[in-house]
Structures are given as C-alpha cells and as structure tokens.
Structure 1
Amino acid sequence: MLSRIAMVSVTAAAAVLPLGAASAAAEPAAPELVPGTPCTATAHACVSLSANRAWLIRAGEVYYGEASALGGRPETPTPAGVFHVTWKDKDHHSKEFDAPMPNSVFFTNTGVAFHQGSLTERSAGCLHLSKKSSEVFFDKLQVGDEVQVVP
C-alpha cells in the first residue's frame, strides 16, 4: 500500500511541474519594429510625433519615407495610438477652419487626417505633409489600412 501512495505522489508532482513551466513560457514576446521606424509590421502608415517623420510600410518594409510630418499644436495635439483609415477626400475643405486640406486621409472619428499643409506651422491635430508626400499617402493608403502614431 505504501508503494501505491508513493507512485501517486510522484505522478501528481510530475503533472504539476510542466504546468508551471508552460505558464512562464506563455508570455508573448514584444512585437518587432520595422527597421528605421518606431512601428510594427502591421502598420501601413507610421508616424513619429517626436521626430516629425512618417513612413509607408508594406509587408514589414518601408517603401516610402522618411517623410516630414508636422502634427498638432500643444493645445490641439495629434493623438497617439493605433487607428485605421476611415475615409479619403482628394479636395477636402475644412468647414470648421475654413481651410483647404488637399489629399486628406482621415484616420480618427474626430477628423484627424494626413493632408498637404505647412511643414513650419503646426495644425489643429492633423498631420501636415509636403505636397508630394500627401499625394503619395493619398494614393497608397486605403480605407481600413492601419495607422500607428507614436509619441
């Protein structure tokens, strides 16, 4: 009878050990960044607010950029986070600011977009791009594409 108890104890201990080891190994690894950017490979557009730069990415590789990108003023900052392109308007005109916003690519539900704008004067939250860069972003980004904006 003693040997039967010892066998059950050894079997129970062996069953517990792998469970502890498995839970320690289950922690997910941090996603890899696309080389030269602060964003992961799931992004189609990447923005670094601190560096005032933007990139276009496909299949984990930069195919356009680094482009100058100027965000919002301190009182109207560009939000950081992960977003998706919601709509585009080649010749958008802001009713709120009575201002042209050529090549607009909207990616928040509050009206934040990439668009052609000043690279010296900050926006009300949008990301200003040069004429050429705004044309490329407008042409290449599609509704649903992921946009990552990092501080």
Structure 2
Amino acid sequence: MKVRRGTRSVWESRPSGRHRAAPLPRNHGRVGMLVLGIVLVVAGVGSITAVASGMTPSTRPTAAMQLQPVPAAAPAPRSSAVTRPETSRCPSTGACVDLGHRTAWIQRAGKIVYGPVPISVGRETGQRAPGPDSSATPTGSYEVTRRVADGWSNEFNQPMKWAVHFAPGGIAFHQGALTAGSNGCVHLGPTPAKEFYDRLPVGSDVFLFS
C-alpha cells in the first residue's frame, strides 16, 4: 500500500511482512557535504594558527600548562646604607671598614667618594682577639704602610693582588673571595680591590670598627 506524502511516496509494511526503507530526503547528501566542509575548514584554520604561532598540534598548550604560575623574579640585593654616625667616626680622608655589616668605603673630606662595597673578613672576627695565632681582623686606626700590585702571601701560599697593607702581621686590603672568611685580611672583589689600591697611597688613614 502506498501513502502519498508531499511529492514522494513512502512504502509502508505489506501483509507479507517485508519492509522497504523510506528513501532519504533529496537534500541529505548536500547537508552531509556541507557539514564535512565546515569541519575541514575549522581544522584547517586551527592548523594555520598553530603554525603561525610556532606550535604544532602536539605542542599546543593544554589548560594545565596555561594555568601554571610564572615564577617571580628574585629580589634585588639590598645595599648597606652608611649612616652619618658611621662616617663621622671614620677618618675624614681615608678608608673605613664596618666589620659588623661587612662593608668598606673611602672618604674624602668627610664624604663617601667610593663604596660602600661588600667585603669578607677574618674567619674568627668577633670570636677571638686578633693576634699571631688568630684569623680575626683587627679593629682600630691604622695607616697604609705599603702597596703591592701583584702580591703573594708566603705564609698561606696565596695571591694578594692589589694588596694595600695597613696593620701588623701582613693585614691588608686585597682581591679575594667574598664567600668565605679570610686569614685576617679584608677581601674585596676585583674592581673594588683595584679602586682601593689606586685611591689609598702610603700614609692614608684606615679605620676599622665592628
């Protein structure tokens, strides 16, 4: 039996029990092609965007990757400020060393003209009194006695570049490691050591306090 629906016929079940499937709408193929075309266009745009941004599909960031926090930059180190009382207790012109804050600077007419710069001092500073058997850096007032640009310590078999000697026992400013204690000298970085050597002639005052 045929039933007229619109412009096409649809076969209903016959008494014999056989069935014929209803034919698909005429525009079914067009709809399928249209959907396939949209999928291909979307995929193509995604690939082009990934290539333009330098990413392949395997390297595109996932949601977990995008939500990862960016590590904060390490804070800049603080420089030790020199107070007015500290400059006033030092010689008007000469070198000043603050053993407690591990800093040193040079003054001219009561004003700082170089520094403060970080230093390293004797390992036993503040623990033992300075002396021949101690690695403590002494405190007090001294004068520069000699300068050796390419010095060497025979006692400790170590270089003493830009050495500026000012205290008994060979105590001097010189270039050395800032991450470890010294044998009593005042260690400076390479550039500060050269500056102290150039700015402190023999006879210059040196004052150290803690």
State the TM bucket, normalised to the shorter chain: 0.7 to 0.9
Q: Which amino acid letter does the alignment assign opposite residue 150 of structure 1?
A: F
For residues 63-102 of structure 1, what are the structure 2 equivalents within 5 Å?
A: 63-74=113-124, 75-102=134-161
For residues 1-151 of structure 1, what are the structure 2 equivalents within 5 Å?
A: 35=84, 37-38=86-87, 39-74=89-124, 75-151=134-210
Match of 1:5 in 2: none
Sequence identity percentage: 38
Shift of 1:134: 0.1
Secondary structure of 1:121's partner?
coil
Secondary structure of 1:138's partner?
helix
Match of 1:23 in 2: none
Shift of 1:127: 0.3
Shift of 1:89: 0.1
With 34-43 and 76-85 compared, the bigger mean Cα shift is at: 34-43
- Give the TM-score normalised by the residue count of structure 1: 0.74
Distance 1:110 1:83 in 2: 13
Secondary structure of 2:86's partner?
coil
Misfit runs of 4+, over 2 Å: 33-43
Name structure 2 gaps, 5 residues minimum. Answer: 1-81, 125-133
Deviations 1:38-93 (A, max 9, x none): 53343500000010000000111000001011110115110000000000000001
Match of 1:26 in 2: none
Secondary structure of 2:84's partner?
coil
Distance 2:112 2:204 in 1: 15
Name structure 1 gaps, 5 residues minimum. Answer: 1-32
- Give the TM-score normalised by the residue count of structure 2: 0.54
CA contact (8 A) 1:114 1:134 kept: yes
Distance 2:136 2:91 in 1: 25
CA contact (8 A) 2:120 2:178 kept: yes
Give 1 or 2: higher strand fraction: 1
**Greater relative contact order (CA < 8 Å, ≥ 6 in sequence):** 1
Change (3 A) 1:139 1:36: farther
Secondary structure of 2:118's partner?
strand
